[in-house]
Amino acid sequence: MIRIGIGRDIHRLVEGRRFLLAGIELPAEKGELGHSDGDVLAHAVTDALLGAAALGDIGEFFPPGDPRFKDADSMDLLRRAAESVKRAGWELINIDCVVICEKPAILPHRDRIREALAGALGLDPEAVFVKGKTAEGLGPAGEGLAVEAETVCLLGKKEDPY
Ligand code: MG
């Protein structure tokens, strides 16, 4: 049996914060505002995994007002969500991601980001892809006010042929 999942997130960009994608800090003038560390890509991947397994969503697992998650390492939250998915009997097959922002450019950092996600999820980096897009000046991402991430993932149950 296979299941697909989708995750989407957006974070406001402000001065004085780090710009993190899957725990990798990119050189940038602004970074993601958030109760946690604001890692938009880690959040989108977490939601894709939890949704594919029908376990819940990131806000249920790690409530944003909860002081335990203030400045939380979002890659740690992703690892915990992935553990829950594995405990439910699912194997992660692949993930594909899009990050949308005007700056910074994602491509020079893409393979490090892929390796960070692969390491956290126990996947071969070949099973993880990340694409950077600009928004052509349109909307909050295009105006440089926000960064967005979209992710899909595929899960399989080992005991069933797929
Ligand atoms: Mg978020």
Tens digits of per-residue pLDDT, 19-52? 999 999 999 999 999 999 999 999 999 999 999 9
Of the candidates 90, 25, 20, 26, which has an alpha carbon nearest to the alpha carbon of residue 52?
90
Tens digits of per-residue pLDDT, 61-92? 998 888 888 889 999 999 999 999 999 999 99
Q: What percent of the chain stands above pLDDT 90?
A: 90
Is the pLDDT at 160 greater than 70? The verdict is no
CA 64 / ligand 1 centre spacing (Å): 9
CA 10 / ligand 1 centre spacing (Å): 6
Structural domain boundaries in the chain:
2-156
CA 24 / ligand 1 centre spacing (Å): 16
CA 103 / ligand 1 centre spacing (Å): 18
Tens digits of per-residue pLDDT, 98-136? 999 999 999 999 999 999 999 999 999 999 999 999 999
CA 18 / ligand 1 centre spacing (Å): 14
CA 136 / ligand 1 centre spacing (Å): 23
CA 52 / ligand 1 centre spacing (Å): 18
CA 40 / ligand 1 centre spacing (Å): 5
Locate the DSSP E strands across the chain. 2-14, 19-21, 24-26, 31-32, 90-100, 128-133, 146-157
CA 42 / ligand 1 centre spacing (Å): 8
Tens digits of per-residue pLDDT, 1-15? 999 999 999 999 999
Q: DSSP letter string over 73-98?
A: -HHHHHHHHHHHHHHTTEEEEEEEEE
pTM for the full predicted model:
0.95
From residue 70, give the alpha-carbon distance in Å to each of 23, 82, 110.
16, 20, 27
CA 43 / ligand 1 centre spacing (Å): 5
CATH of domain 2-156: 3.30.1330.50
* φ, ψ of residue 124 in degrees (nearest 5): -70, 140
Exposed/middle/buried for residue 29 (C-beta within 10 Å: 0-12, 13-18, 19+): exposed
Q: What percent of the chain stands above pLDDT 70?
A: 98
CA 100 / ligand 1 centre spacing (Å): 14
From residue 52, give the alpha-carbon distance in Å to each of 7, 26, 120, 148, 155.
9, 29, 18, 20, 7
Q: How far apart are CA 40 and CA 21, in angstroms?
A: 7
Q: What per-residue confidence (pLDDT) applies to 145?
A: 98
Question: Is the distance from CB of 22 to CB of 95 less than 8 angstroms?
Answer: no
CA 111 / ligand 1 centre spacing (Å): 22
Exposed/middle/buried for residue 51 (C-beta within 10 Å: 0-12, 13-18, 19+): buried
